[in-house]
Amino acid sequence: MSQAPLPFISLIRENLSILMTFAYSQPELSQLWIQRYGGRLDRLGAVLFRESEQRAIRACVELAALLRLLDDRENLNEYLKTSNFAALGVLKMDDGSEEPLYIRDVTNKIMHADSYQFQVLVTRFDHKLICKARPDERWVTAEIDLVALAVVCGHIIG
């Protein structure tokens, strides 16, 4: 795989940073907010949680678009599969079956999702982005492992 163009590297770094900072700061911030303020969502709570989540979702969509462009240019999906990179998550189908998600699948599911939800766990490090399908799709959810996605991005940006 050749080096990604410099503007791509900068944008991937920025968006990955926003995404990971949001996901991995939420458990601690949530605990603090609950302990000190009972979890009330006044204007400050909205800024700390809702607005930061919206920015993280925007970063995910931008990151997906960049990775999709790289895949189109460099056949990134095939390179990662032949380099034995693990799947980046799980696609849950409407018939109950599951399929592994690779980078091309991840970009498609992020770009075509109806809604997004972060699954952040207080005691574990396997936070996920859950992409929920539109009603007319054959898939229900795409569960994207954020650490696995970060590893792929790290490989790309060197």
Which helix (H) or strand (E) segment is 100 a member of? Answer: strand 98-101
Q: CB atoms < 10 A from the CB of 119, how many? A: 13
* Cβ contact 88:106 at 8 Å: yes
pLDDT score, position 7: 86
pLDDT score, position 4: 67
**More confident site: 28 or 148:** 148
Average pLDDT over residues 80-97: 93
Nearest C-alpha neighbor of 104 from the set 134, 142, 132: 142
Q: Cα–Cα distance between 64 and 22 in angstroms, integer?
A: 17
Return mean pLDDT, the chain. Answer: 89
What are the domain boundaries of the chain? Answer: 6-157
The two three-digit tokens of residue 78, written as one number: 């095939």
User: Got the DSSP string for 30-81?
Assistant: HHHHHHHHTT--SHHHIIIIIIHHHHHHHHHHHHHHHHHHHHHHH-HHHHHH
Q: Write down the pTM of the prediction.
A: 0.89
* Cβ contact 110:59 at 8 Å: no
pLDDT score, position 124: 66
Q: Is the pLDDT of residue 95 over 90?
A: yes
- Dump pLDDT digits (tens) for 109-143: 999 999 999 987 655 677 899 999 999 999 999 99
- Dump pLDDT digits (tens) for 69-78: 999 998 999 9
Nearest C-alpha neighbor of 23 from the set 102, 109, 122: 122
What distances in angstroms separate CA 116 from CA 28, 106, 123, 128, one per listed residue? Answer: 21, 13, 22, 10
The model's confidence at residue 98, banded by pLDDT at 50, 70 and 90, is very high
**Distant-in-sequence, close-in-space partners of 148: CB < 8 Å, separation ≥ 6:** 86, 87, 88, 89
